[in-house]
Amino acid sequence: MSDDKLVSMADGAGGERMQKLIHDTLLKNLPFSRSAGEVPLEDLDDGAVVGDVVFTTDMHTVKPLFFPGGDIGVLSVAGTVNDVSVMGAKPIALSLAYVVEEGLPTEDLARITASADATAREAGVPIVTGDTKVVERGAADGLFVCTAGMGLPTHTLDHNARVVEDSTGRSQRWLLDSQVSSDATIILTGHVGDHGLAVLAQREGYGFDTEVVSDVGPINHLVEAAMSVGGVMAAKDPTRGGIANALNEWDEKSNVGILVREDDIPIRPGVLHGCELLGIDPYEIGNEGKALMAVVPDKARSIVEALRGLPRGGDATIIGKGTTEVEGVVLETSVGGHRVIEPPISDPVPRIC
Amino acid sequence: MSDDKLVSMADGAGGERMQKLIHDTLLKNLPFSRSAGEVPLEDLDDGAVVGDVVFTTDMHTVKPLFFPGGDIGVLSVAGTVNDVSVMGAKPIALSLAYVVEEGLPTEDLARITASADATAREAGVPIVTGDTKVVERGAADGLFVCTAGMGLPTHTLDHNARVVEDSTGRSQRWLLDSQVSSDATIILTGHVGDHGLAVLAQREGYGFDTEVVSDVGPINHLVEAAMSVGGVMAAKDPTRGGIANALNEWDEKSNVGILVREDDIPIRPGVLHGCELLGIDPYEIGNEGKALMAVVPDKARSIVEALRGLPRGGDATIIGKGTTEVEGVVLETSVGGHRVIEPPISDPVPRIC
């Protein structure tokens, strides 16, 4: 069988190759399912909406299972809490399912489970159901973890959120990728690249000068704080493909130009140094504890203030805006030039989530 | 590290070893999560109840991916539809998440996805959200599939269901393992052992005389038909550990004796023959398209009639009863003797689901 008829690592690394797999192999073979619900599968948003419930799932194959700042248990719970949260919903329950490779130390499974629970506690979202399967040695890579999450609409919980309209004129009910307006202010809740580089450094043993620690954690309290101020149009957790991928999804689905300023995008020196050594674009690396938000301009400063008052939002800042001045996603560099931030072909770092 | 500190295949095969893993390694490390919700994680029922929503998840590691009568796609959708359904809820949405091993033929992934969708169509429950991760060759075994499902209470949809009380005197809202009364009539919707033996035969290449085909498929229409008649106390899909495990869970959680008659439990000659050859108890093998139901006696015949009118219920029959005459789960054999059906130590056939 020729190689292009076999699934490859690049097919799973986000970006264009993955889009092709999703469209040609998956969505195409889901004729019954793909258009069901208020926000259906084929929209490829962070979650689906069915009835009044947001529903989302993540499969986690991070390698190694433990890394600086977290482990696969933290990652699995945070990943799904965050996907529900950036839909503008309040996550209320999680599922947790394991594939365990025979020979995994029971103590590792216990630690990871305790991490998942501690993260659930931080988020305020319990794990209510689960499943565990064990496979033979060599049939898995230690542990894979699948989480799913449910969330309820925030507008039934918080009537302060300002209602805006999306690009199609619909009244906002959820925070969707299609709702970024051409006058939006874009906020990022902290530094980029920490998670991807921390996992990579742990795995490959690169001797970076600065120890980089993953940012993995739940961001639901950040999104809720912003929505309490009001005026949030869209939110996104920039995981696979990083902020480059997330901003391009907004550009594409909202049909709006996006301009961000290099000097305003927070990045730690250790991450910048590691990325330079490896030839990786820090904007294309996955984050696991950050949110991008597109908000109405006159609420932006109040939202940043609210975010900075929370443990995971201390470095929140305005990084750019929606605009009709440019097409696509454009970076204003430190020296005043402009360069296009393309959607990544694939994530430069495999198995970070 | 000594072997008892490493996870083994037996820890994942249902039965007592698995109970120990679940209690000592998992539930013990979920102090925040384990008691949340109306039907919490620690009840270990088929699903959880949060708010008005039933929520459940399954991880699927069946080997091989394709087997007589189905594939991992059918299995994944049916497994979760069935878990929601036997809670007495109407399944409304599914998630579908993949771990794909690099090198899996894209055509296999397409076929499996199409199977999942066709099963979703039969059940009337769309797949609304998903995730796909690809790992290196040797890091997984072709494909693992995780599904999660949501369901809504049937009593808001069907006011014909007769309300009964469970063993604790609570008014029935869900079909729970704790609700089997000592005068219950026990119904099985068809033959036992088909799935487990079909997978085993395909995998190991045993030359059985009769070709055994898996029963894998959604049973939600069966449970709904029975609830429309009314008087259903509890329902269960006898997967890992077979009807032996399922009946013992009822016995334990409802504190009621159960008597079933060997002559009344449907079993295909090919399954019986295969089990005899392999020294496997057919009552301990997993089924994937069957329901056990405990119902009030005066509704039992009407429910059996209703089930027989449906495609997957043609062989539905009464197999026994709840009783105070015996303790535990007791089989009345063909020759009139009695033997105890013990809870299985573990499923005799690994990786059938």
* Same-domain check for residues A163 and A118: no
Q: Judge whether residue B169 has pLDDT over 50.
A: no
Confidence of residue B17 (pLDDT cuts 50, 70, 90): confident
At residue B171, does pLDDT exceed 80?
Answer: no
> Are residues A105 and B6 in contact, defined by beta-carbon separation less than 8 angstroms?
yes
- Residues in A 71-130 with any Cβ partner in B closer than 8 A: 92-107, 109-111, 113-114, 116-118, 120-121, 126-130
Is A2 among the domain residues?
no
Please count the residue pairs, one from chain A and one from chain B, whose beta carbons lie less than 8 angstroms apart.
286
Which H helix or E strand runs over A261? Answer: strand A257-261
> Most A CBs within 10 Å: which of B50, B59, B119, B239, as the mutation test of the A interface?
B59
pLDDT digits (tens, 9 = 90+) for B207-225: 655 589 999 999 999 999 9
Number of alpha helices (DSSP H) and beta strands (DSSP E) in chain A: 8, 14
- CATH number of the domain where residue B178 is located: 3.90.650.10
What's the pLDDT at A37?
83
Residue range B325-331: mean pLDDT, rounded: 97
Q: Which of A101, A127, A152 is the last residue of a domain?
A: A152
Same domain, A108 and A162: no
Which range scores top for mean pLDDT: A183-197, A227-241, B12-26? A183-197
Same domain as A213, residue A105: no
Quick one: pLDDT at residue B158?
Answer: 37
Supply the pLDDT for residue B204.
78
Residue bearing the bigger pLDDT, B126 or B17: B126
Q: Determine whether the interchain pair A12/B128 forms a contact, defined as Cβ–Cβ distance below 8 Å.
A: no
pLDDT for residue B251: 97
Nearest Cβ partner for A41 among B32, B104, B130: B130
pTM to 2 decimal places: 0.94
Q: Using an 8 Å Cβ cutoff, are A182 and A201 in contact?
A: no
> What pLDDT, on a 0 to 100 scale, did the predictor assign at position A44?
85
pLDDT the model gives residue A207: 60
Tell me whether residues A93 and B48 touch, CB distance under 8 A.
Answer: yes
Tell me which residue of B146, B189, B163, B165 sits closest to B58, measured CA to CA.
B146
Q: What residues make up the domain containing B92?
A: 47-152
Same domain (yes/no): A88, A127: yes
Asked whether residue A334 is domain-assigned, the answer is: yes
Is the Cβ pair B29, A110 closer than 8 Å? yes
Which pLDDT score is estimated for A209? 52
Q: What is the pLDDT of residue A13?
A: 79
Based on the fold, state whether residues A148 and A161 are members of the same structural domain: no
Query: Is A3 among the domain residues?
Result: no
Q: Alpha helices of B255-299 — where are they, by DSSP H? A: 269-278
Which chain A positions have a beta carbon within 8 Å of B36's beta carbon?
A: 93, 126, 128
Say whether A117 sits in a helix, a strand or coil.
Answer: helix
Residues A144 and A163 reside in one and the same domain: no
| Residue-level pLDDT at B345 | 83
Same domain, A70 and A120: yes
- Nearest residue in B to A50, CA atom: B93
Lowest mean pLDDT among A153-157, A235-239, B275-279, B307-311: A153-157
pLDDT tens for residues B259-294?
Answer: 999 999 999 999 999 999 889 999 999 999 999 999
Strands A232-236 and B127-135: unpaired
- The rounded percent of chain A whose pLDDT value lies above 90 is 76
Interatomic CA distance for residues B346 and B268, integer angstroms:
23
Task: For residue range A48-89, list pLDDT tens digits in order.
Answer: 988 889 999 999 999 999 999 999 999 999 999 999 999 999
Which CATH number is B127's domain given?
3.30.1330.10
Residues A145, A167 within the same domain: no
Pairing verdict, β B89-101 and B127-135? parallel
- A30-39, B65-74, B250-259: range with lowest mean pLDDT: A30-39
Asked if B28 reaches chain A (Cβ–Cβ under 8 Å), the answer is: yes
In this prediction, residues A206-217 reach a mean pLDDT of 79
Through-space distance between the first and last CA atoms of chain A, rounded to whole angstroms: 30
| pLDDT over threshold 80, residue B155 | no
Whether residue B136 is found in the same domain as residue B228: no
**What total of structural domains would you count in chain B?**
2
Query: So what's the pLDDT on residue A346?
Result: 77
B211/B279 same-domain check: yes
Given A117, A135, A152, the domain boundary residue is: A152
Instruction: Please count the residues of chain B.
Output: 353
For residue A176, name the pLDDT band (cuts at 50, 70, 90): confident
Between residues A205 and B120, which one has the greater pLDDT?
Answer: B120
Whether A19 is covered by a domain: the verdict is: no
Angle between helices A72-85 and A220-229 in degrees, nearest 10: 20
The residue from A152, A178, A208 where one domain ends is A152
Question: In this complex, is the C-beta atom of B159 within 8 Å of any C-beta atom belonging to chain A?
Answer: no
Cross-chain residue pair B130–A29, CB shorter than 8 Å: no
Residues A213 and A331 in one domain: yes
Which residues of A are less than 8 Å from B44 in CB distance? none
Query: What is the Cα–Cα distance from A166 to A177, expressed in whole angstroms?
Result: 9
Q: Is residue B246 part of a domain?
A: yes
**CA-to-CA distance for A220 and A205, rounded, in angstroms?**
32
- B283 within a domain of the structure (yes/no): yes
Instruction: Specify the range with the lowest mean pLDDT, choosing from A119-133, A292-306, B159-173.
Output: B159-173
Structural domain includes residue B353: no
Same domain assignment for residues A114 and A234: no
Q: Report the pLDDT averaged over residues A290-299.
A: 95
Mean predicted confidence (pLDDT) in A316-335? 97
pLDDT score of A162: 42
Asked if residue A179 is part of any domain, the answer here is yes
Q: Share the mean pLDDT of chain B.
A: 91
Q: For position A106, what pLDDT does the model report?
A: 97
CA torsion A187-A190-A193-A195 (nearest 10°) is -130
Cα–Cα distance between A146 and A98 in angstroms, integer?
A: 6
* Cα–Cα distance, B39 to B36 (Å, whole number): 8
If you search the block for the tokens 């000594």, which residue do you land on?
B2
**Taking a contact as any Cβ pair under 8 Å apart, which residues of chain A between 274 and 303 contact chain B?**
none
Asked if A92's CB is within 8 angstroms of B50's CB, the reply is: yes
